[in-house]
Amino acid sequence: MSSTHAIASLAAAALLTLAVPAHGQGQGERTPGGPVGPINMLMPDWPEMMEMARLLKPNWEKLGVTVNVQHAQLNSMVAQTTGEHRAPHISITGWGGGPDRIDPDFFLSEFFHSKRSVKGGQNYGQYVNPEYDKLVDAQRGEMDDAKRHQLVKQAQQMLVRDRPGLVLYYIDYLTPYRTDRIDGASSVMGNGTSLSYIPWTYYDGKVKKGRPIVKTLTQYDITTLNPFATGEVTNAALLRWSYAPLVMRDKNMALIPWAAESWKVVDPKTVEVTIRPSMKFSDGQPVTAADLKFTLDFINQWKFPSYARYTDNIAQADQVNDRTVRIQLKQPYAPFVANILGSAFIAPKHVWEGVMTKNAGLKSPAEWPNAEPVGYGPYALSEWKKGEYIKFTANKQWYRAPGFDEVYWLIVPSVDSQLGMLESGNADLMAWNLTPSQMQRLKASKDISAPPAPSHAPREARFNITLPPFDDVNVRRAFSMTVDRKQLVNTLLDGAATPGNDAYISPKLDWSDTSIKVPEFDLEGARKMLQAAGYTWDASGKLRYPAK
């Protein structure tokens, strides 16, 4: 009896959590004069998205179509859209903005280049345009900054012309911290005050009172201490506190030398990097160019999936002297400094070269637990109690030594508990983006502040342009014109967001083409556009395809 009970509960649990209704089947055909079929829209099950659906649906339905809204767990949705490329008519996603996405290449290429319209790529809308591909490939290889800016502007204009997706808005990060404890907090684009990606609060901040031991709250634990193993953004970002990247973004998003002392673009395919002098690993060994060369060769040798996209382009890494490495690229790659040097770190050769021989049964060094990480950056990862906390100890030998002594990342899955802990002073920062109601609640505490910082990653609505009616650019544009972005920003986020202009580059970045304006809500204009394209409405107001 009890075993049947167990199996039954397992079955229920498994099927309930993992069943995802099939989309992309029977989604309507383009029959001349026929009704424009129901539009299926998929979004993650976040409260913000639930509300957003209630604002988007009625406006779009004014065009004479029915919109079906489907919410799914984020992992399931990603598996379906990105993993299996079975996206429905419209997929709405909120993207995270890691530092490697500040360079325009990520959104322009990853979302819309035809090469990424394969399973695993983010071009699940299937936008395939050879003209666009050429443009984006050109900007990626253009090492002259001014010329590259031009090409990026042209790419944005092409996207707006073809409208494969809509950018609804860019959220503001509202990440709270205790002002009575932390001095010198920096709220930085794509990071706010307390996240781990561009963590200037942790690197430059000081403690006002009490012990210089800072506690930050987070919902999710990391999964590995091995810097080669993970591609997951937060895990990688935290490991970079110890395995410091060569280049970093400062508080104004400018690229600054970090583990590198300087770099030189010798020619479009050659970059020389000189690392900082007197850096030491936590086991006392000096950090040298041999370690950097070893790391780049190691990644190339093992083809770690997490780094493949970047190091695929590295042909060769040669040690020039004890602090300099010369890197040869296969092709010119404009985001090289930002993305490759911005994520490349230096692994201790004396530790990693023996990993495979000393540990039987490993298929790859990425499987080694690396339980005692040997790093060199501003913080050492000194303790990881799984599910409880991650402890970082400041490395006072770092050239820009942190003002804190220790930082604890406390893993608290319940956001309500986190809010309570922050309010009662049991924690100093919360690595969480506050919802408007949570922001209201914290406003009542005079010692808690959440200075906003813009995100460079959009909330977007992507069309599957293989599915009618979205194979017609006029319909896509009409849908863009029936989104009231200002209403979304004010209703969903109390104004803590910037409306998007459908060009997929945040207006706060200097790559943005500021001549592209945010579309105004214009129902009449949308209907006129559809009419001009041959669409009609029947007696009951339903939209019909052109009679062709």
Write out the residues near other proteins by the rule CB under 8 A. Answer: 2-3, 5-7, 10-11, 13-15, 17-20, 73, 75-76, 78-84, 110, 118-122, 211, 213, 215, 223-224, 226, 229, 231-232, 303, 305-306, 308-309, 363, 366-367, 369, 385-389, 391, 406, 408, 410-414, 416-417, 420-421, 423-424, 426
Nearer to other proteins, 68 or 75 (CB): 75
Nearer to other proteins, 84 or 183 (CB): 84
Two tokens, residue 241: 């506190």
Least distance in angstroms from the C-beta of 445 to other proteins = 13
State which amino acid sits at residue 311.
T
Q: What is the DSSP string of 68-132?
A: EEEEE-HHHHHIIIIIT----SEEEEE----GGGSSTHHHHHHHH-GGG-STTSS-TT----HHH
Least distance in angstroms from the C-beta of 54 to other proteins = 26
Q: Any idea which residue has 């979304």 for tokens?
A: 488
Nearer to other proteins, 145 or 416 (CB): 416
Least distance in angstroms from the C-beta of 183 to other proteins = 20
CA atoms of 96 and 189, how far apart (whole Å): 12
Least distance in angstroms from the C-beta of 15 to other proteins = 7
CA atoms of 70 and 276, how far apart (whole Å): 52
- What is the DSSP code (8-state) at residue 38? P
- What is the DSSP code (8-state) at residue 37? P
Least distance in angstroms from the C-beta of 146 to other proteins = 30
Nearer to other proteins, 73 or 440 (CB): 73
Least distance in angstroms from the C-beta of 217 to other proteins = 9
Two tokens, residue 496: 């803590």
| Angle of CA points 79, 106, 471, to nearest 5° | 65
Least distance in angstroms from the C-beta of 403 to other proteins = 17
Q: Any idea which residue has 């382009």 for tokens?
A: 313
For residues 191 and 469, the answer to whether their CB atoms sit within 8 Å is: no
3-state secondary structure of 383: strand
Nearer to other proteins, 64 or 365 (CB): 365
- What is the DSSP code (8-state) at residue 338? I
Least distance in angstroms from the C-beta of 408 to other proteins = 5
Nearer to other proteins, 222 or 260 (CB): 222
Least distance in angstroms from the C-beta of 218 to other proteins = 11
Nearer to other proteins, 297 or 367 (CB): 367
Nearer to other proteins, 76 or 139 (CB): 76
Least distance in angstroms from the C-beta of 263 to other proteins = 25
For residue 469, whether the previous peptide bond is cis, meaning omega lies within 30 degrees of 0, is yes
Least distance in angstroms from the C-beta of 118 to other proteins = 7
3-state secondary structure of 279: coil
Burial level of 132, CB count in 10 A (0-12/13-18/19+)? buried
Query: String of b and e for 427-440 (b: at least 16 CB within 10 Å)?
Result: bbbbbbbbbeebbe
Least distance in angstroms from the C-beta of 207 to other proteins = 13
State which amino acid sits at residue 136.
V
Q: What is the DSSP string of 484-548?
A: -HHHHHHHHHTT-EEE--SSSS-TTSTTS-TTSPPPPP-HHHHHHHHHHTT-EE-TTS-EE----
Nearer to other proteins, 14 or 547 (CB): 14
Q: Which alpha helices (DSSP H) does 312-451 contain, by range? A: 342-343, 349-352, 355-358, 415-423, 436-443
Phi, psi angle pair for 108, to nearest 5°: -65, -45
Q: Any idea which residue has 């010369």 for tokens?
A: 326
Nearer to other proteins, 419 or 483 (CB): 419
Nearer to other proteins, 184 or 420 (CB): 420
Nearer to other proteins, 121 or 332 (CB): 121
CA atoms of 350 and 361, how far apart (whole Å): 20
